[in-house]
Structure 1
Amino acid sequence: MKRDSEREELQRKLQKTEERLAKTQSDLNYLESIVKHTEDAIVALGLDGTILTWNPAAETIYGYTPREAVGNSVSMVIPPYNSDEISLILAWIKSGERVTHYDTLRRRKDGSIINVSISVSPIKDENGEVIGASSIARDTSTSKRMELQLQESEEKFREVFNNANDAIFLHEIKNDGTLGKFLEVNDVACQRLGYTREELLQMTTCDIDSEETTKTQGPCVERLLKEGNATFEAVNLTCDGKEIPVEVNAHIFNLRGERMVLSILRDMTRRKEYETQLRKSLNEKELLLKEIHHRVKNNLMVISSLLNLQSKYIKDKAALEVFRESQRRARSMALIHTMLYQSTDLKCINFGDYITKLTLELFRTYVTSDNIHLNLDVGNVPLDINTAVPLGLIVNELVSNSLKHAFPAGEEGDVTVRFHKDGDNYTFQVADTGKGFPDDLDFKKTNSLGMRLVNTLTHQVNGEIELNTTRGTCFTIKFSEEEYGS
C-alpha cells in the first residue's frame, strides 16, 4: 500500500512538472512570436557588446542577416563618430541601470545612416547578476523627416508672419460670442503699438482701440460673427496714446476644433494724408471750375446785353432779328454754365431741367397770347457739358422756329418737347401742330442760319436728325453720348 501511494504521488509531481514545462514552452513560443513579428529590432547583447540574438526586424532595419550579425560586435551598426556610445550604454547596463527612448543614429549595411530610438535593459541571472543586455530599437527616420519638415514649415510661417507689412492678430471667440484675448501677434503689431508680445497677449481689441472705435465697432463684430468675415476701419492707440487709423480685414476659421479670428490691420496713415490732400486739391479745383463757369456765364450775359443794346440802334427788322437770335443763343449757353455753377456735379447737368427752363423762357419771349400750348415730356437725364452745349443750342433753334413760324396770324396749336434716354441712346424731339415745314425746302441744305446750326451741331454730337411732316412739323434727333476724358 505504501509503495502504491508513493507511486501515485510521484506521478502527480511528474504531471505537474510536465504541465509547467508545457506552459513555459507556450510562453516561450508566444514571446518568440512577438520577437519574430514585431517591427522593432530586438537584439540580445553580451556585456562586451557581442550580438547574441538578431530578430527579423533587426535584419529589416539594419540590413544584416542573423548569420552576418550574431557573434559580431554591435559596433558594426554604430557610426564611427558615435563609437564611444556603446561603451557608455554598457557601463550603465552593468551598473543595473536602464536606457529608455534614447534617440541616436545607426549605420545600415549599405552605409546609409538612419535615426533610431533605442531602449536597453539589463539581463540578469537567477542570482540577480547582470549577464547581458536586451536592446529594442525603432526606426524613426520617417517621423524625424516629418518632424523636420514640420519644423521648417513652422519656421517659414513664423518668418512670413513676423515679416508681413501689416499687423496680424489671432484672438479667440469666447462662449458668449465676444472676442477674447489675443492668442498670437506678429512683430509688426508689437512694433507699431509699442507693446511687447507678452503684454499684447494679455490684451483684447478694446485695449488697443480708441474710445470712438470701441463704441462703434459693435455692428462690425456682429457682421464678422454672422458672415465669417468683415472689412472695416478702426483707430488703434499706441502705448503712448498716439492714434493710428487702420483698415481691418478679419475672418473666422477653425483651429483644432476651436473658432478663431484672424485680423490683419493695415496702417492707413499715409492713405488718410493722401485723401486729405486729394480732397483739398479737389475742393480747390471745384472752386476754380465754379468760378470759370460763373465767369463764362457772366461773359455770355455781357455779350447778350451788348447785343441787346446794339439792337436798339437797328431799324432794319431782318438785322434786328439776327441780333436778337444771337442774343438768345448766348443766353442759352449762359444758362448751361449757370446750372453747372449751381450744381454739385461740375461736369454734368440735368438736361431735362435745362430744357424746361430754356423752353419756358423762349415761350415767354415769343408767345403773347393763349393760342399756343406748350407740352413738356422730359426726364431727369444727366448730360456731359461737351454734349449739353451743342444740344442746348439745338433746343434753342428748334423751339424758337416752332414758336416763331408754326402758327401765323394767331393760329392755335401745340408745341411738344420730348427728351429721354433708353440705355445708351438719347432721343430729343420738337414737334408742333402748325402749318408744317415747307415742302419745297430741304432742311439739310437751307440757307437759314438756324437750320444750318442745327445740322452742324447734330453732326458734332454724332447724332442723326429726322423730319416728319405728316401732321405739322416734328424734328427727331437721336444720338449716343461720347465718353469724354475727366
Structure 2
Amino acid sequence: MEPTEFKRMPWLDGLLDAMDAGIVVLDRHGRVQFWNRWMERASGTTEPDIHGRELVEALPSLRDTRLHNAVRDVLETGAPSVLSHTLNPVLFPLRCPDGRRMVHNVLIRPFTVANASYCLIQVTDVTAVVNRERVLREQRDARYRAIVDTAPDAIVTTDTRGVVQWANGAAALQFGFPPNELIGQHVSLFLAEGSPDWSGLLERDPAGRPAPVELIGRKRDGTRIDLEVSLARWESEGRSFITGVLRDITERRRTREELKANALAMRQLAEQTKATLDALPAHIAVLDHGGHIISVNKAWAGSGPQAGFLGDGSAIGDDYLEACAATRSGAEHADALIEGLRGLLRGGAPVSIEYPGLSDAGPRWYRCLAAPMAAGPFGGAVLMHIDVTEIKSMEAALRKLVGQKSTLLREVNHRVKNSLQLVSSLLTLQTMSLPGAAERVHFQDARSRIDAIARVHSRLYQTEQFQTIEFGSYLNELCTDLSRASGGDTLGSIEVRAERVDLPIDQAAPLGLIANELITNAIKHRGSTPANVLVSLDRAGDLLALTVTDQGPGLPAAFDMRRSRSLGMRLITSLTGQVGATVTLMPVERGTSFRIALTMPETRGPILEDSAAEWNG
C-alpha cells in the first residue's frame, strides 16, 4: 500500500532548509508534507501549522488560481509548470524581510519516492532582479522621456487600434488638450474627419523607410492644423505599438502655397510684360552686362536692317555695341550712344539721345532711352529706340501755332492799351471844355483810372507773359506817373518799396485801380502840407499785402468805408471784394494807412506757352 506520509530525513531537511529558495512538497492529495524555513520566513506560516493540510485550505487565496491549476496538473498528469511573475502577478502571498511584497517565480514538477507520487514546488525570489530591471527601465524611460518631452513636434504612442497610450507635452500643447486627457482616446480625436486608418499609414517608401504622410488635424477648439505624420511600429512584451511624430506644417504649407501663387503670378507677369512690350511700336532690347542682346520685343525682331535706328538688324546674341558702331545711319550719334551705354553698364547714369536716321521710308527721327536693369538675372540694361518723327512734326506745328498765338495776344494787348489811351485822351479833351472845376475833377479821376488799366495792358504787351505781370515794377511806374501828373515834388513825394511779385491779370488790374485810388486820395486830400506817400508791397509765403500810408490830416474818427458816399471808397470796397482781399485801416500817429491783404493764387501759364518755352530752350 502506498504510504501517505513523506519520509523525512534529518540531513535532507537541513539541506532544504538551508537553501535560498522556498521548497514545498505536496502529496498526491495536495497536502503539505514539507515547508522549509525559507517559506516560513516569507509566508509567515510555520511548518507545523501547515503540515498535513491541503495547500489551498491553508492558503485560501490560491484556490482556483493558475498555481492551483498547475499543482493539479502535476498531481493528475505529471506535467510540470513554470509560473513567471510577469504573466502571473498573484502567486504565493509572500513578503520580503522589509515587509514589501515579494516578486517570485514558481517551478512545479512531479517526483516519485518508493512508488509514491509527490509534487515539488520551488519558489525563487526575483524581487531584487525585478527592482534592478525596473530602475534600469525607469532610467532608460527617463532619458527617452526627456528627449521626447522636449521635442518640438507632437509625439504619440498608440496600440494597433489607434488608442493613445502616451503623448508628450508638445502633443498636448499642439492640439490644446491636457496631457492626461489624451491617454485612452482614439487618435481620431485630433485628426479631421475622413482621415485614413491610423495603422494603414504605415506604408513604406521604395527604400523601405516609413513614408511621411500629410494629413489635416484639428485642435480642441476645432481649429484646422496641417500635419506631416511619420509612423513606426515596435514590439514590447508581445504587444505591438505605433509611435507617430505629428509635425505642424501649417506655416510651411501656407508658405508653399504662397510660393506657388507667387510663381504663378510671376509667370503671368512675365507673360503680360512680354505681351505689353510686343504690343509697343518702340524697338526694345535687353542687354546683359557685356552689351550682348539677350531679348528683343516683336518690333525689334521684325524691324530688319533697314529700319533706320542705331543698331538696326541686330538680333539676340549679337554684341549691340559693335552693331551700333557699324550702323549706316546716324553714325555721328553712334559714338555718343556707345560711350553712354558703356558707362551705364558699368553702373553709370541712364542714357537719353535724340538723333536723325534714314530708313527705306525716308528720313526719320529717333529717341534712344537706356536704363539699368540691376534686378534682372543677367544685370545689364533695357534699351529702347522710339520713332519720334511725327512728334517732331507736331512740335514744329505747335511751335508755329504758339508763335502765332503770342503775336495775336501781344497785338490784342497793344490794341486794348491804345484804345484805353484813346479814351483817356478823349476824356482829357472833354475835361478842357468843361467850365466847372468840380466836373473837371471827376473827368480827371476817370481818366486816371483808365490810365491805370491801360498801364496793365501796356506791360502785358511789352513782355512774353500774357497771364501775369510783375506788380512791383507796375507800382513803380504807376507812382511815377501819378507824381508827375500831380505836379512833381512841389505837391509831395511818393516812395515805393515793392518786392518782385508776379500777379495774374485778374488780380493785377483791380489791385492797380485800388492803389491808384488810395494814392490819388492821399494827394487830393493832403491838406495844406505836401503829400508824402509811402507805398509798400510785401509778400510772406502765399500772403500779399499792399500798404498805402500818407502824412495828411487823416480820416474822421467815425469813418466807415462801407458807409462812405465817396465814389473812390465805394470803388475800393468793390474791387477788394472782387479779388478776395481785406481792407484794414492801420493805426498811425499821423495821416492814414490802408492795408490791402490777399492770398496769392497758384499761377501757371497756358499749355502752349509752357510748351513753347521748353522747345525754345
Flag whether TM exceeds 0.5 (same fold): yes
Corresponding residue for residue 458 of structure 1 = 576
Does the alignment pair 1:472 with 2:586? no
Does the alignment pair 1:185 with 2:290? no
- 2:282 maps to which of 142, 152, 166: 166
Corresponding residue for residue 534 of structure 2 = 416
Residue identity in the other structure for 1:474: S
Q: Does the Cα contact within 8 Å between 2:452 and 2:512 map onto a contact in 1?
A: yes
Residue identity in the other structure for 2:470: N
Alpha-carbon distance in 2 for matches of 1:324, 1:442: 25
CA deviations 1:180-234 (Å, max 9, x no partner) are 4545433312444535445993653344572453465588558745765525242
Alpha-carbon distance in 1 for matches of 2:270, 2:564: 85
Alpha-carbon distance in 2 for matches of 1:292, 1:381: 24
Alpha-carbon distance in 2 for matches of 1:150, 1:375: 71
Specify whether residues 153 and 276 from structure 1 end up closer, same or farther in structure 2 by C-alpha distance, changes over 3 A only.
Answer: closer
How many residue pairs are counted as aligned between the two chains? 337
Residue correspondence of structure 1 range 214-293 to structure 2 within 5 A: 214=334, 217=337, 221=341, 224=344, 230=350, 232-235=352-355, 237-238=357-358, 240=360, 242-253=363-374, 259-293=379-413
Q: As a proportion of its length, which structure holds more helix?
A: 1
**Please, which moves more after superposition, 272-281 or 227-236?**
227-236
Secondary structure of 1:417's aligned partner = strand
Residue correspondence of structure 1 range 73-88 to structure 2 within 5 A: none
Q: Does the Cα contact within 8 Å between 2:366 and 2:385 map onto a contact in 1?
A: no
**Please, which moves more after superposition, 212-221 or 387-396?**
212-221
Structure 2: gaps of 5 or more residues = 1-204, 210-264, 607-617
Q: Give the deviation of 1:245 after TM superposition.
A: 2.2
Corresponding residue for residue 421 of structure 2 = 301
Q: Give the deviation of 1:440 after TM superposition.
A: 4.5
Specify whether residues 348 and 154 from structure 1 end up closer, same or farther in structure 2 by C-alpha distance, changes over 3 A only.
Answer: closer
Residue identity in the other structure for 2:374: F
Identity %: 28
Residue correspondence of structure 1 range 336-351 to structure 2 within 5 A: 336-351=456-471
Q: Does the Cα contact within 8 Å between 1:351 and 1:382 map onto a contact in 2?
A: yes
Alpha-carbon distance in 2 for matches of 1:157, 1:453: 64
Secondary structure of 2:459's aligned partner = helix
Alpha-carbon distance in 1 for matches of 2:574, 2:267: 77
Secondary structure of 2:489's aligned partner = coil
Alpha-carbon distance in 1 for matches of 2:476, 2:342: 49
Specify whether residues 220 and 365 from structure 1 end up closer, same or farther in structure 2 by C-alpha distance, changes over 3 A only.
Answer: farther
Measured on the aligned residues, the alpha-carbon RMSD in Å equals: 3.6
Specify whether residues 447 and 253 from structure 1 end up closer, same or farther in structure 2 by C-alpha distance, changes over 3 A only.
Answer: same
Residue identity in the other structure for 2:380: M
Secondary structure of 2:532's aligned partner = strand
Q: Does the Cα contact within 8 Å between 2:523 and 2:531 map onto a contact in 1?
A: no
Alpha-carbon distance in 1 for matches of 2:334, 2:313: 22
Corresponding residue for residue 145 of structure 1 = none
Q: Give the deviation of 1:321 after TM superposition.
A: 1.0
Alpha-carbon distance in 1 for matches of 2:424, 2:464: 26
Corresponding residue for residue 333 of structure 1 = 453
Q: Does the Cα contact within 8 Å between 2:293 and 2:316 map onto a contact in 1?
A: no
Structure 1: gaps of 5 or more residues = 1-55, 61-148, 175-179
Alpha-carbon distance in 1 for matches of 2:522, 2:268: 85
Secondary structure of 1:478's aligned partner = strand
Q: Does the Cα contact within 8 Å between 1:181 and 1:203 map onto a contact in 2?
A: yes
Secondary structure of 1:305's aligned partner = helix
Corresponding residue for residue 442 of structure 1 = 560
Alpha-carbon distance in 2 for matches of 1:219, 1:477: 59
Specify whether residues 443 and 273 from structure 1 end up closer, same or farther in structure 2 by C-alpha distance, changes over 3 A only.
Answer: same
Alpha-carbon distance in 1 for matches of 2:602, 2:269: 52
Q: Does the Cα contact within 8 Å between 2:544 and 2:599 map onto a contact in 1?
A: yes
Q: Does the Cα contact within 8 Å between 1:185 and 1:200 map onto a contact in 2?
A: no
Corresponding residue for residue 119 of structure 1 = none
Alpha-carbon distance in 1 for matches of 2:343, 2:476: 47
Q: Does the Cα contact within 8 Å between 1:437 and 1:469 map onto a contact in 2?
A: no
Does the alignment pair 1:392 with 2:512? yes
Secondary structure of 1:263's aligned partner = strand
Q: Give the deviation of 1:300 after TM superposition.
A: 0.0
Q: Does the Cα contact within 8 Å between 1:347 and 1:385 map onto a contact in 2?
A: yes
Residue correspondence of structure 1 range 187-226 to structure 2 within 5 A: 187-192=298-303, 194=307, 195-198=312-315, 201=318, 203-204=320-321, 205-208=324-327, 210-211=330-331, 213-214=333-334, 217=337, 221=341, 224=344
Residue identity in the other structure for 1:365: A
Specify whether residues 371 and 191 from structure 1 end up closer, same or farther in structure 2 by C-alpha distance, changes over 3 A only.
Answer: same
User: Which structure is richer in relative contact order (CA contacts within 8 A, separation 6 or more)?
Assistant: 1
- 1:428 maps to which of 546, 554, 568: 546
Q: Does the Cα contact within 8 Å between 1:185 and 1:201 map onto a contact in 2?
A: no
Alpha-carbon distance in 2 for matches of 1:346, 1:403: 32
Secondary structure of 2:585's aligned partner = strand
**Please, which moves more after superposition, 356-365 or 435-444?**
435-444
Q: Give the deviation of 1:344 after TM superposition.
A: 1.2
